[in-house]
Structure 1
């Protein structure tokens, strides 16, 4: 893990040194990221919410950085990485501190006839329980980190309509983030 984090930090510095943002959304954060969180701050968050963050995400926010100067946070895909305290952006109802500890109802590869009806059949059910909002993609779409359930550690993207969320091909947060950095360094304009 330390080698992966160091490699990501080097790539992030290289992305920040490029002239002008080229990737969609980069003008919101300019490849800047806020300072890393302390171990005490992360432990406090985990205890308040009854969760254990995936090791790669935890390592990133305690080593590389967290949040940042943009309206939607710091250097990251689309409009940037949200601060951890904005975990509840995907929730449809009022935030409940127990939401992160619940299993996320979506599974990779599963096809839904009607995502919301299947994931949240009750009036007060929350379809995005068990997820932490990572970043805003625009048009109300978000990137989320799954904290509970069979897809724990994976990144999923919200989608309007009946098809439900889309899992990225990445096995974990750090792979997703590094894939974005690789796209930036290759001069790509969009990330998927």
Structure 2
């Protein structure tokens, strides 16, 4: 059982999404035991340059090699755990840079006469979502969870579960309630 654990928050130990993603991985380790093989990708540490024409056209050998490594990690994973904090209604830009490296025509999706078809295979994705405010499921200003679900669905991964802690900057009591609810979801994995 290959588990790809991705963190994207810049907040280090103070990060709620990192706490949630780590707890999800611990739960998966308990569930799968010795079968669990974890790869951790910390996007606050691992520099992935934003997409450029040189990178897209394969004119930078170093970046092509990095892109292939990131893509293969994603393709090889049975489970993907993404720690995603909401920054200004969206994703950390480092997470978007990773998305640009795994969204590769002919590898994770292809176009047909009927439209796009995902190629990434059967995976489970857990999104550990954290938000300072409260936005809910159908917020018109949520460009975080919706984008992540769209990307994973586009690559053929439809089993996506969101574990959310929101309102974490609205006071200690609200944060504790959010963390307790998220932890209950994690325990159910």
Flag whether TM exceeds 0.5 (same fold).
no
Higher helix proportion, which one?
2
TM interval, short-chain normalised: 0.3 to 0.5
In the superposition, the TM-score normalised over structure 2's length comes to 0.33
Higher strand proportion, which one?
2
In the superposition, the TM-score normalised over structure 1's length comes to 0.33
